[in-house]
């Protein structure tokens, strides 16, 4: 990429897309094309076609998606598969039609089989059954990977797929009905402090293991891979270390200064037992995460407290 290249970041207002925009701007890339979902509905094929024909981006970061936590994924199963399939199909196809030099498709670690060996290597894709609660979302993301590969094979498109682990950072979602575990816990502990609540309830048993990557690290990896990676299939983006939900809750308890007790609601689902990324491929290419978990969560918490984000609910 050159600084004068036109770069379209799809989903620029989300946590992932906004981090990619910040990373591009940091290195002086100012020809960044963005559209809000109100300005451009990527589910609409004709609207997407008109946008690509008009703007003619050189590079595309496809970070637009319908996302949510375990309850949202399981409740709105049709929405998750339909909307994600439409968004990615339209963007990938029209990137091809308009001679985009390179496209990066961002997926999710939920593409891997529920009981895949740990850590998750890229070649474990499609070797077993998916986690049922987010199967529609995972299938959409797998289709996106295979679509990039198909356009590469048939048309020679330089389309690559990256699979970030669980992310957190600026512009995260703190709605308890459809947020992920880390922001949900941040909000729960913050509210417990505000209202002097004696206990905080954590969903599940606390035993599942999860890996967490700061969105700024993820964006740095995407920026690096856009310039140094060109292969079919996919590449994991992660830190290569995980933590139990119980230990995560204890860490957030410490960061927020909450002094009450933890209660685990075992009637709520745990989801996949473990999702640790194998990041050997990424590290062999020369990239490694820099932001530690406690440092990252502390920074995020201080920012959202200052912005008053956790008090709007």
141 labeled binding residue: yes
Check the annotation: does 195 bind a ligand: no
Pairwise CA distance, residues 283 & 275, whole Å: 18
11 is annotated as contributing to ligand binding: yes
**Under 8 Å between Cβ of 158 and 152:** yes
Phi, then psi, of 282 in degrees rounded to 5: -65, -45
State yes or no: 190 annotated in a binding site: no
| Residue 169 counted as an annotated binding residue | no
Q: 183: annotated binding-site residue?
A: no
Distances (CA, A) of 98 to 7, 49, 60, 91, 231: 13, 9, 11, 10, 21
Residue 287 annotated as binding? Answer: no
Residues 293, 167: contact at Cβ < 8 Å? no
CA 214 to chain centre: 10
> Before 100, cis peptide (omega within 30)?
no
Q: Is 218 annotated as a binding residue?
A: no
137 is catalytic: yes
Among the listed residues 8, 59, 112, 137, the single catalytic one is 137
Beta strands in 92-157 (DSSP E): 102-106
Q: What is the DSSP string of 180-219?
A: -HHHHHHHHHHHHHHTT-SEEEEES-S--EE-EEEHHHHH
270 labelled binding-site residue = yes
The answer on whether 180 is annotated among ligand-binding residues is yes
**Residue 292 is assigned to a ligand binding site:** no
Binding residues for NADP(+): 11-17, 106-109, 141, 164-167, 180
Binding residues for substrate: 188, 203, 210, 270
Binding residues: 11-17, 106-109, 141, 164-167, 180, 188, 203, 210, 270
Catalytic residue numbers read 137
């Amino acid at each position: 990429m050159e600084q004068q290249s036109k770069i379209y970041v799809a989903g620029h207002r989300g946590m992932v897309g906004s981090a990619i925009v910040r990373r591009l701007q940091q290195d002086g890339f100012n020809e960044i094309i963005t559209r809000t979902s109100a300005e451009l509905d990527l589910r609409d094929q004709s609207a997407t076609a008109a946008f690509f024909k008009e703007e003619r981006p050189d590079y595309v970061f496809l970070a637009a998606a319908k996302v949510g936590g375990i309850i949202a994924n399981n409740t709105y199963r049709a929405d998750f598969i339909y909307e994600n399939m439409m968004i990615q199909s339209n963007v990938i196809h029209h990137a091809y039609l308009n001679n985009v030099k390179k496209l990066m498709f961002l997926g999710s670690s939920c593409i891997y089989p529920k009981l895949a060996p740990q850590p998750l290597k890229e070649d474990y894709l499609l070797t077993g059954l998916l986690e049922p609660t987010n199967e529609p979302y995972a299938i959409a993301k797998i289709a996106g990977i295979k679509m990039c590969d198909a356009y590469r094979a048939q048309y020679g498109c330089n389309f690559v797929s990256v699979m970030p682990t669980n992310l957190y950072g600026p512009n995260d979602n703190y709605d308890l009905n459809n947020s992920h575990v880390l922001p949900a816990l941040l909000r729960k502990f913050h509210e417990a402090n505000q209202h002097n609540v004696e206990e905080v309830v954590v969903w599940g048993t606390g035993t599942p293991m999860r890996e967490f990557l700061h969105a700024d690290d993820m964006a740095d990896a995407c920026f690096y891979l856009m310039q140094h990676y060109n292969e079919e299939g996919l590449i994991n983006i992660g830190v290569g270390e995980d933590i139990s939900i119980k230990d995560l809750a204890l860490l957030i308890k410490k960061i927020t200064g909450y002094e009450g007790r933890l209660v685990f609601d075992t009637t709520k689902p745990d989801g996949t037992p473990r999702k640790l990324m194998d990041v050997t491929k990424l590290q062999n290419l020369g990239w490694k995460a820099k932001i530690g978990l406690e440092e990252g969560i502390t920074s995020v918490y201080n920012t959202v407290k200052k912005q008053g984000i956790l008090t709007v609910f």
